[in-house]
Structure 1
């Protein structure tokens, strides 16, 4: 989903948000719950891309994903920030990394201070392709020896509003943004700092410490303000060829993240592999996504709040000598606090404060085992977890009693390189703090409509293989093909219910509800092939069956209990993926690997939302999204061991495309050229 205000919000196999796919950065969890009005909610994680070393993705509920993965029914994303090896050349003790990028197809918006004038911002046409506005710069230092390593890095990034593509525009019904025009509220600027230190003893003990600070300003707009003006601020007709849309001031986010870990693995004792982790994140946000504030236009939506988290885990891994069994067991605790800052209290009406004000505590105890009975390996995991939530606005507490997750995975090796696998799990997601605290935002928790935990039932069966010398000498193939089914009973999302005694006569009961179920199933292919002649990466997902069921929503709309689109008076349509999704990357390396060039093709099939989706509200959602594709080119040339040049052209054919998960008709960026250089010394 684009325009997450400089953050990431990842979905896996149709599951996304509110802890379903947590993103861990160096072991710490930093996500902020953000309202987007009729566009639903976001589970945002803030990090600069240039500070990322590597990313590991586990799809579906997984054994050994993370001590803090309770509720991760969609999967887990683990991000490792820059390491010494990313900065220092092999064989050297210390070094610097400088990374520079610049790109075209964007322009920094000139945003008026006056909130009335912001609503009548005049769009600009696409600048010439040779105009490179904004970019990013990163500087990092690394040091290592046998007992100590350290990383210090700083990154700045700035981009203006991007410009839409051109070709394919006529396929859309009444799109708001015209071809090659500025897409408002998409600008972004940030400053990020990273410091890491590791201490390594000669008796198997390791200490790691990390601190990360991220500051940013980013554009954002609510769905009710996604429209074109017919006149200027004085109600005069716009000149021919001039277009105008609301362009709000930028919201801000300041995030601090601290983490520390201790590991002890004695060389002579396979029963001890102890890990202790501690982390803390605090986020302070001032963004335009509130409701019923004091002021006009964007000003009435500005509010300030904080979202703080902390966690601690202790676990051990024991390899038994008499059995081919490895056990991993431990406990984890995490707390979360959402509260309005002073500005978020005094600016709003006395109906209710927009920002949630509550806390949530979750405790878990887990044990996982891996049994190697060659040619069969079995992984089984159990996780007992519960949560307690206190809402300081309603003065109510919710106590979700512990539930037991059960996860299993079986691998049968047909050969040393090929295996059949089967995964099955029953896991629970306790309602999040955001879903269980009241506010006056569009979708809010209603104490009269209690929420139950989600129950996720997952099955996956497939084949995976790693081959060498298959088609060409010294080639390598890594392939996985599987069928999956994700069934979530009691799926939580926004919807509308009958009024309750606490609802004003003129208001509707837009709240979070338990849908009967969300059922997603399909096939998934992942293939990586690498040879001297060329390399290719293929990722494809085909959804064969999609169902959303709710007898409450069906009664209100006088429709069937289940459908494949989602219900018109809720947010489930935005969570239904396109039926077909494909990414193909083909490349070749020249000059002994110094030159790497390739092309990337991305495709999604068409998607239809309910014809009366959010009708009668201030939003104008997009109903029909045609199929779309994008071609990207990239290349990098290693000049020597210290310098690498980089170039990329994203959306080569300048397609006008809107992503299937969009609520409003916000197009993707048009053709964009990026140039860069990496220097190590």
Structure 2
């Protein structure tokens, strides 16, 4: 059987390894093939870490099975700087390489098949799940950074390649048939308990029906769904058991393998040391009362380290961590001749694993000392793949590879918005029972009368439960129509996610120094999901006449609003075509050049959106279209207004002055001086006329005229406003063609300029200077909703997207000596949106296909130095060193914004250093890997303003204070902030071989630091106190060890200890605050026949 870097004997291995550096045709390495064994395949994988011009990590079958760990994510444990998000609460892989993770960014390929589904994790964002059974895996290869390979399946930031068992893993060297039976058991595990509340029963007949609600009450105040945490049985074996049987055969024309694997492990126990770093010994009241961060009170200097030891005590059971899997594997290879082969693969896994929403991990004071155990999640997966290779020996123009695969995932995950046993319909008749009882006045601990309150409370609960029971058993209760009052699996999300793919490639050997590869693949994905809320919508329409907070007038059945809890189903289809080429040219013996490009074209359709609007008219649909700015602007005071106001004001003053002046010199006639009324009135009229004439002449001399109605209105406006009144106005911040709120075209920059906000006017009525803009109010998270236009409506009904792009790649390798080489690579990727990013549903509440999008454009630079040290260490079997620098700039990066919309942001910048070395002398071996992350910056000038939330100023109006344009990690409500890797990670392995290499002793040391620079730190450094922050972790050193003894050719014994210092710690990049497993001892044997 051909293997990439498969070797049988040590001399041949050394010869080929040296030729890697000596030959100018390094592009031919992947065609080397010899018959090998499991050991030679493992050695070839390790050699690949230092022979390729890309940083890789490799784990062999032996390493995987030695340090198998408790969780699927432990497949990646020990690969330096590579982590899996939500390691203890997912039952899957969610790889993070160099601080990058997510669907399409880091694909996980099992025998070339790709499958990934993004699931909702509440406030913790989303996880990119890749389900698999680790007991079937033979090797793990981690490629850091993108590349142009023959199948074009590399991710934008790296790739995880997993190979399942192969005949060479089972068959002994020189044999044609083999059987392997492997069995193991471990301690530190206890059988999980079932969920304590019956599901599918009328809640009114349960012992504590008051617990059966929906929303925060059921999530945080329910007590009947909890257990006391267990500490006994930690050192007992046989609660974590696994066995596998594999049968294989091979000859010149055929290879075949069948395998069956089973594993059943209960919940693990947390470690005993280090719990003080996570709040051990504290209480919830102490935590709640600590309003201000106090370094003397906290045991950590980071206020975002969760106090999870309050919930999961050291040395006690961590529920929802069990795992049970049953898997089948079949493989066959037909070798028609030396250059033609056809491969088939079939695998099926049925996995049940513990899972709980991160938001449900915390407690209230009512629940201290107890833990939640949710029903197990379940995934059934079937994968089929076939590959064809045709490589005639004397034909330089044909080196053909073809393949196809399909993966079917049927899952029930605990990723919806409710809790187990929630009720999603209310019985108003039941709710009215017991209203005649008077609840005791609530008292707090320490308050006078608290003990009596507890007695009265218990009696009250006893009485009301008695009334509820009488109602539930009466004939007057509301009928349970179609199980409307049954408890539901409200936490469950059922999904069907199917992947299909084909690929083809050919290599042309144009000249001995020039190769030319052409390759292509085509893949498509279908996703459908539902939950209890969507499943029961027809029933809600029947019994309530609708499903949003309503009920029929003549019915006691009430349907609460489900929007907040249902999390949203997803339905969609996605197709992607990739075509590429790559030249490999060696003009001289010491130089190799690579150049190529990849073209990507994709289409998607959001069937969930189509379903939402299929029965609606355009006028019934609203979408958030713009941000509204309300402001008050004082009218401009013109010269004419000032002139008219001065005339109005001065006219009255002067008129009174001239009247007084005339009256002083010409006193008004008095009645007392006249004999008759008529004479007095006559003279007074004459006097008044003369006064008016005098006053008018004086006013004319003073250039004053009688005020008009307009003058009076102007005076009224100026006198009344006094800096407070003005015209109320509204202006909108409209989206651009990409659906973004572009700051350059915003009212903030186009209308409310600095000059406009500083603009002042002198008001002659008040004799004061007044700001023209008196106040501004805008809420960036409450958008103006509008009906779509006709054009937008047509695009919404189709709910389709399509895009295409080219991405180049270049590389150069300089062979400085036979043992030293330097390389540089520049690779671009154009990642199209994943099916999650292109469909509406959980975690994304708004998505509009009428806005344009750009591909996520990544530019990657790598510079590396590699040296084979055996020239300096002649006794070494292997001795290598690698130093690598990487820099990644991603533009138009996809993430969620503060309005829970999928948006594209300006850019993200990552960089770091990686160091790898190994030494194997035969009796002693060691390796060391170090990753130091230099930068993880997220930049977006629009969100720097939008993330502030509001702009609300009165009187002293000024520009909104923007957050830093570049911050560590990611957006405020986005997913990227959850993906910041530790500042540095260190992995070290040491071991010895003795007794003619039949005995092997080894240890693994894993160290990771904190995230030194988080989004919250960026904001604090800029003077902002408030921040949404992710859970973090403390640095930790985890030590593992093993002993392996080969009794004879047929039997091998194994003793393994993981976390032997029994540390209590959180895994890096965890979305769920669940401590990792404590010290675990595993016993196992492998028998080969």
2:1032 and 2:868 map into 1 onto residues whose CA distance is: 41
The answer as to 2:559 corresponding to 1:157 is: no
CA offsets 1:609-660 (integer angstroms, 9 cap, x no match): 55599xxxxx997645221110111121111111111111111111111123
The answer as to 2:464 corresponding to 1:302 is: no
1:451 and 1:224 map into 2 onto residues whose CA distance is: 32
1:564 and 1:621 map into 2 onto residues whose CA distance is: 11
Question: CA shift at 1:132, angstroms?
Answer: 3.9
Q: Among residues 815, 831, 848, which one is paired with 1:447 in the alignment?
A: 848
SS at match of 2:579: strand
Question: CA shift at 1:228, angstroms?
Answer: 3.0
Question: CA shift at 1:282, angstroms?
Answer: 0.8
Larger CA deviation: 419-428 vs 601-610: 601-610
Query: CA 1:471–1:416 in 2, change beyond 3 Å: closer, same or farther?
Result: closer
Larger CA deviation: 550-559 vs 143-152: 550-559
1:680 and 1:628 map into 2 onto residues whose CA distance is: 38
The answer as to 2:1083 corresponding to 1:675 is: yes
Instruction: Write the mapping of 1:185-334 to structure 2, written as runs, cut at 5 A.
Output: 185-202=320-337, 204-231=339-366, 243-291=369-417, 296=422, 299-321=489-511, 323-334=512-523
The answer as to 2:921 corresponding to 1:531 is: yes
Tell me which residue corresponds to 1:55. Answer: 140
CA contact (8 A) 2:265 2:324 kept: yes
CA RMSD of aligned residues (A): 2.5
Instruction: Write the mapping of 1:497-576 to structure 2, written as runs, cut at 5 A.
Output: 509-555=899-945, 556-557=947-948, 558-576=962-980
SS at match of 1:554: helix
2:234 and 2:495 map into 1 onto residues whose CA distance is: 40
Question: CA shift at 1:451, angstroms?
Answer: 4.7
Larger CA deviation: 252-261 vs 124-133: 124-133
Tell me which residue corresponds to 1:633. Answer: 1041
Query: CA 1:98–1:656 in 2, change beyond 3 Å: closer, same or farther?
Result: same
2:395 and 2:491 map into 1 onto residues whose CA distance is: 59
Question: CA shift at 1:66, angstroms?
Answer: 3.0
1:306 and 1:17 map into 2 onto residues whose CA distance is: 19
2:163 and 2:1072 map into 1 onto residues whose CA distance is: 33
1:274 and 1:403 map into 2 onto residues whose CA distance is: 26
Tell me which residue corresponds to 2:992. Answer: 588
Tell me which residue corresponds to 2:753. Answer: none
Query: CA 1:126–1:64 in 2, change beyond 3 Å: closer, same or farther?
Result: farther
Tell me which residue corresponds to 2:590. Answer: 375
Tell me how many residue pairs correspond in the alignment. 652
The answer as to 2:976 corresponding to 1:578 is: no
* TM-score normalised over the length of structure 1: 0.91
Tell me which residue corresponds to 1:504. Answer: none
Question: CA shift at 1:416, angstroms?
Answer: 1.6
Question: CA shift at 1:563, angstroms?
Answer: 1.4
Question: CA shift at 1:358, angstroms?
Answer: 0.6
Q: Among residues 120, 140, 162, which one is paired with 1:79 in the alignment?
A: 162
1:154 and 1:624 map into 2 onto residues whose CA distance is: 39
Question: CA shift at 1:118, angstroms?
Answer: 6.8
Query: CA 1:342–1:493 in 2, change beyond 3 Å: closer, same or farther?
Result: closer
Question: CA shift at 1:216, angstroms?
Answer: 0.7
Query: CA 1:553–1:184 in 2, change beyond 3 Å: closer, same or farther?
Result: farther
Query: CA 1:649–1:314 in 2, change beyond 3 Å: closer, same or farther?
Result: same
More helix per residue: 2
CA contact (8 A) 1:172 1:624 kept: no
Tell me which residue corresponds to 1:484. Answer: 886
1:118 and 1:14 map into 2 onto residues whose CA distance is: 40
1:666 and 1:408 map into 2 onto residues whose CA distance is: 43
CA contact (8 A) 1:521 1:546 kept: yes
1:307 and 1:146 map into 2 onto residues whose CA distance is: 39
Tell me which residue corresponds to 2:571. Answer: 357
The answer as to 2:806 corresponding to 1:404 is: yes
Question: CA shift at 1:565, angstroms?
Answer: 4.3
More strand per residue: 1
Tell me which residue corresponds to 2:609. Answer: 394
CA contact (8 A) 2:522 2:578 kept: yes
Tell me which residue corresponds to 1:29. Answer: 114
2:159 and 2:317 map into 1 onto residues whose CA distance is: 35
CA contact (8 A) 2:375 2:420 kept: no
SS at match of 1:276: strand
Structure of larger gyration radius: 2
Query: CA 1:262–1:74 in 2, change beyond 3 Å: closer, same or farther?
Result: same
1:108 and 1:583 map into 2 onto residues whose CA distance is: 32
Query: CA 1:208–1:623 in 2, change beyond 3 Å: closer, same or farther?
Result: closer
Query: CA 1:623–1:8 in 2, change beyond 3 Å: closer, same or farther?
Result: closer
Question: CA shift at 1:171, angstroms?
Answer: 1.9
SS at match of 2:929: strand
2:224 and 2:168 map into 1 onto residues whose CA distance is: 47
1:343 and 1:210 map into 2 onto residues whose CA distance is: 36
The answer as to 2:232 corresponding to 1:106 is: no
Query: CA 1:93–1:475 in 2, change beyond 3 Å: closer, same or farther?
Result: closer
Question: CA shift at 1:124, angstroms?
Answer: 0.8
Q: Among residues 318, 322, 329, which one is paired with 1:183 in the alignment?
A: 318
Question: CA shift at 1:230, angstroms?
Answer: 3.4
SS at match of 2:325: strand
2:576 and 2:347 map into 1 onto residues whose CA distance is: 24
CA offsets 1:291-324 (integer angstroms, 9 cap, x no match): 3699618832212110001011121111123x51
CA contact (8 A) 2:493 2:531 kept: no
Question: CA shift at 1:209, angstroms?
Answer: 0.5
CA contact (8 A) 2:243 2:263 kept: yes
Query: CA 1:445–1:141 in 2, change beyond 3 Å: closer, same or farther?
Result: farther
1:76 and 1:601 map into 2 onto residues whose CA distance is: 24
Question: CA shift at 1:388, angstroms?
Answer: 0.6
CA offsets 1:483-530 (integer angstroms, 9 cap, x no match): 11111112222331xxxxxxxxxxxx3232223222111100111211
2:160 and 2:1016 map into 1 onto residues whose CA distance is: 35
Tell me which residue corresponds to 2:614. Answer: none
Question: CA shift at 1:393, angstroms?
Answer: 2.1
Unaligned runs of 5+ residues in structure 2 are 1-84, 200-210, 212-222, 280-306, 424-487, 538-546, 549-562, 611-797, 949-961, 1019-1026
The answer as to 2:251 corresponding to 1:145 is: yes
